[in-house]
Copies of this chain bind each other. A is one copy, B any other.
Amino acid sequence: MGTSRLKTAVLGASGYTGGELLRLLSGHPHVTVTTVTGDKSAGLPVTSLFPHLDAVHALVLEPLNIDRVLKKVDLVFSALPHTTAMEPVAKCLQAKIPVIDLSADYRLRQAETYEHWYGTPHTHPALIKKAAYGLPELHRTTIRRTRLVAVPGCYPTAAILQLAPLLAHQVIKPTSIVIDAKSGASGAGRSPALPYHFPETHDSITAYKIGRHRHTPEIEQELDLIVAKNSAPRKRKAARINVAFTPHLIPMNRGILSTAYAVLRKPMTSDDLNHVYAKFYKNERFIRIREEPTTISPLHVRGSNFCDICAVIDHRTNHVVTVAALDNLVKGAAGQAIQSMNLMMGFPEETALTTPGVFP
């Protein structure tokens, strides 16, 4: 069976997302990670960065040399930071090696949008259209056919999944969306800095990048697509959604709770609303719709690939309020990346992703 296993590399394996890819892939029956790169940690065993992988992975980090990597593997996961993934990903495509990119570099369909929000020119704008946006629940067919998956950001995964049914079924006014999201600190990465120094994050909660977080254009792009797909052709042009998006840092390691608000187009019952969600996500293994908002918590999805969603109607104010919980490192990153890889490679979609959350 060893010979039939897919050989994969994880680029940028020293961060939390890299570690999570290694953790989850250790349970994949058809994949072996054979190469891990990390410039600053080159030469170190993975276990010196990740003691939890002791006795699980015996890999040693090497400096990133994409040409060398491409000779050794069948598929590449890139957990490189934004702006640094453009080149290596392009090389993968040239070499016809499938690549799953966890950065933002190929998520936005308009190069100029990318350039505006990320402050740097896109060096391979022609490749953007080859990328599938790696949210299987919305783009399963495209992902199956692509060689480049751009894995969504953690906040967008929650926000898009919780809002998609409402827009697809024209339940809400698209221009009225407010998203108030809360994330654990692993979302900020593994580089020490004062805002994530334990005594500054613990017992604290702060809003940051109000109205200017880089995940905003991703959310808007995908919501626009949904609106466009579900509108009469001549109305499509008008569908430009702007969301008021405020992320918060909260004292948890993992997990996002995203609370989204939107104005109802016309009155509806809670039962009808639940029906919209149940139908939209009917056969989705990783989406769980529940009626009681207090059961929607990062604690119930920790370490798992589930996204739990609840929506309620606030009749007094004519709003839908929806909460979604996911693990930012799994459904919001590494798990979703593996889910996409499973689709690309023809493995059962849930392979290596069936473990329930670690509660409590």
Enumerate chain A interface residues (CB-CB to B < 8 A): 16, 19, 23, 26-27, 50-56, 178, 180, 182, 184-186, 190-208, 210-212, 216, 242-244, 246, 248, 250-255, 257, 259, 261, 285, 288, 290, 293-304, 306, 308, 312-317, 319, 321, 323, 354-360
Is B52 a contact partner of A206 (Cβ separation < 8 A)? no
- State which of B51, B194, B251, B253 has its C-beta within 8 Å of the C-beta of A308: B51
Contact status of A203 and B51, CB under 8 A, knowing A192-B197, A248-B257 = no
Is B52 a contact partner of A298 (Cβ separation < 8 A)? no
- State which of B246, B295, B323 has its C-beta within 8 Å of the C-beta of A259: B246
Is B52 a contact partner of A356 (Cβ separation < 8 A)? yes
Contact status of A299 and B203, CB under 8 A, knowing A288-B54, A315-B211, A321-B211 = yes
The docked-state distance in angstroms from the alpha carbon of A23 to that of B19 is 22
Contact status of A306 and B248, CB under 8 A, knowing A194-B192, A211-B312 = no
- State which of B16, B246, B302, B356 has its C-beta within 8 Å of the C-beta of A199: B16
Is A316 a contact partner of B252 (Cβ separation < 8 A)? no
Task: Tell me, rounded to whole Å, the shortest Cβ–Cβ distance linking A60 to chain B.
Answer: 17
The docked-state distance in angstroms from the alpha carbon of A244 to that of B303 is 32
How many identical subunits does the complex contain? Answer: 4
| CB-defined contacts of A300 to chain B, threshold 8 Å | 51-52, 54
Task: Tell me, rounded to whole Å, the shortest Cβ–Cβ distance linking A69 to chain B.
Answer: 24
The docked-state distance in angstroms from the alpha carbon of A304 to that of B54 is 12
The docked-state distance in angstroms from the alpha carbon of A27 to that of B293 is 28
Is B317 a contact partner of A210 (Cβ separation < 8 A)? no
The docked-state distance in angstroms from the alpha carbon of A178 to that of B355 is 37
Task: Tell me, rounded to whole Å, the shortest Cβ–Cβ distance linking A357 to chain B.
Answer: 4
Contact status of A182 and B248, CB under 8 A, knowing A52-B357, A192-B196, A196-B197 = yes
The docked-state distance in angstroms from the alpha carbon of A194 to that of B196 is 10
Is A197 a contact partner of B197 (Cβ separation < 8 A)? yes
| CB-defined contacts of A354 to chain B, threshold 8 Å | 26-27
Task: Tell me, rounded to whole Å, the shortest Cβ–Cβ distance linking A246 to chain B.
Answer: 6
| CB-defined contacts of A207 to chain B, threshold 8 Å | 257, 259, 293-294, 296, 321, 323
- State which of B203, B306, B323, B357 has its C-beta within 8 Å of the C-beta of A298: B203
Is B180 a contact partner of A259 (Cβ separation < 8 A)? yes
| CB-defined contacts of A205 to chain B, threshold 8 Å | 182, 250, 252, 255, 257, 297-298
Is B186 a contact partner of A360 (Cβ separation < 8 A)? yes
